[in-house]
Amino acid sequence: MSSGSAGTVHLAVYDTFADWETGYTTAHLAQNGCTVRTVGLSREPVTTMGGLRVQPDLALDELRPQDSALLILTGAAGWDTGETLAPFARAAREFLEAGTPVAAICGATAGLAREGLLDDRAHTSAVSFYLAATGYAGGGRYVEADAVTDAGADGAGSLVTAGPTEPVAFAREVFGLLGVYDAEKLDAWYRLFHDSDASAYEVVQGG
């Protein structure tokens, strides 16, 4: 993580956001010294898809890329049912243009596609035709993978994408991007939580 960000990651929250998709990511970031702050369209409480009530720490118009190490966007019904969440896609553009990374999973990838942010970057999602339905121009850059990190170019921020069934792979890409674990521990972490490989436990715990 960059020293300028003070180790702060911002998690976008909105009604019906898919709370399970970023559970691994935020939990292990917090356990490794990162501050996770939630950002909503306003500071009014939202309700997750799992029925949890979340009070955002700040409103979207208070969020600045220079104060963050990463913006995380999860899936939600709103990505496919109107323009309610479009401001978060525009915020993602501001982050990437400022050189600050963005990580998007599930429906949030469609929001980024509509914003034109996947046209020139390697990316993935649930399935290719889900993104194709947005009418975006990036179909040729779609990758059949559990999660993808595109490093960007010309000073742009890196972009992580994943489909809704890959919360562990999504977390792996975020940890690798932010340098949370070294390569050996990152591989062990993934094997432990994705493959239930008990032999990886001691490496993850630093043994």
Residues identified as active-site? 106
Question: What span, in angstroms and rounded, lies between the C-alpha atoms of 21 and 162?
Answer: 10
Count CA atoms within 13 Å of residue 144 on its CB side. 1
Q: 3-class DSSP state for residue 135?
A: coil
Long-range contacts of 183-186 (CB under 8 A, 24+ apart): none
Element (H, E) at 147: strand 147-150
Which DSSP state fits 73? E
Instruction: Check if the beta carbon of residue 44 is closer than 8 Å to that of residue 53.
Output: no
From the DSSP assignment, how many helices (H) and strands (E) are in the chain?
Answer: 7, 9
> Which pair of tokens denotes residue 200?
């990886």
Give me the residues paired with residue 96 across strands: none
Question: What span, in angstroms and rounded, lies between the C-alpha atoms of 129 and 66?
Answer: 34
From residue 81, alpha-carbon distances to 12, 30, 78, 128 in Å are 18, 32, 5, 19
